[in-house]
Amino acid sequence: MSIRQISVFLENKPGMLNKMTEVLAEHSIDMRALSIAETKDFGIARMIVDDVYAATNVLKEADFVASLTQVLAYQIPDETGGLNKLLQTFTDAKVNIEYMYAFLGAGTAKAYMIFRVADTRAAEAALAAKGLKTLTQEEIAQI
């Protein structure tokens, strides 16, 4: 099952990212993972949070432009060669990755990867056929 990532537009000027984190902090929204993509003019903050609906609403109220994107989350053992093995499965399933980022689980020896691919559903099926199971929104919230 794919999960929902929030992507937020950030104008390129000092304090914008801080303003966003402030809004999330004020509303006790917990970020599971965060990645920033930047160009010379603007940035996009991509994040996985515990409460997608609340986060979307409070960001909108604070005049941020945000959108939801379907991404795939996988758990990998936090050990040498762990990512390599996972990516080999992607290659075997002929899945092209647009972007990805990693985060660690609290107090566990587990790492997690978020993948954005062109055709989420087809990729998920191809990877499932190779024995890879995605994490659900609920599982992510409980990490």
Interacting residues with other proteins (CB under 8 A):
5, 7, 9-11, 16, 37, 39, 41-42, 44, 46, 63-67, 69, 98, 116
Kindly state the smallest distance separating residue 29's Cβ from other proteins, in Å.
Answer: 19
Whichever of 9 and 89 has its CB closer to other proteins, that residue is 9
CB 127 within 8 A of CB 65: no
Kindly state the smallest distance separating residue 45's Cβ from other proteins, in Å.
Answer: 10
Q: How many CA atoms lie within 13 A of 116 on its CB side?
A: 16
Kindly state the smallest distance separating residue 117's Cβ from other proteins, in Å.
Answer: 12
126, 38, 82, 118: which is closest to 46 by C-alpha? 38
Can you say how many angstroms the Cα of residue 44 is from the centroid of all Cα atoms in its chain? Answer: 12
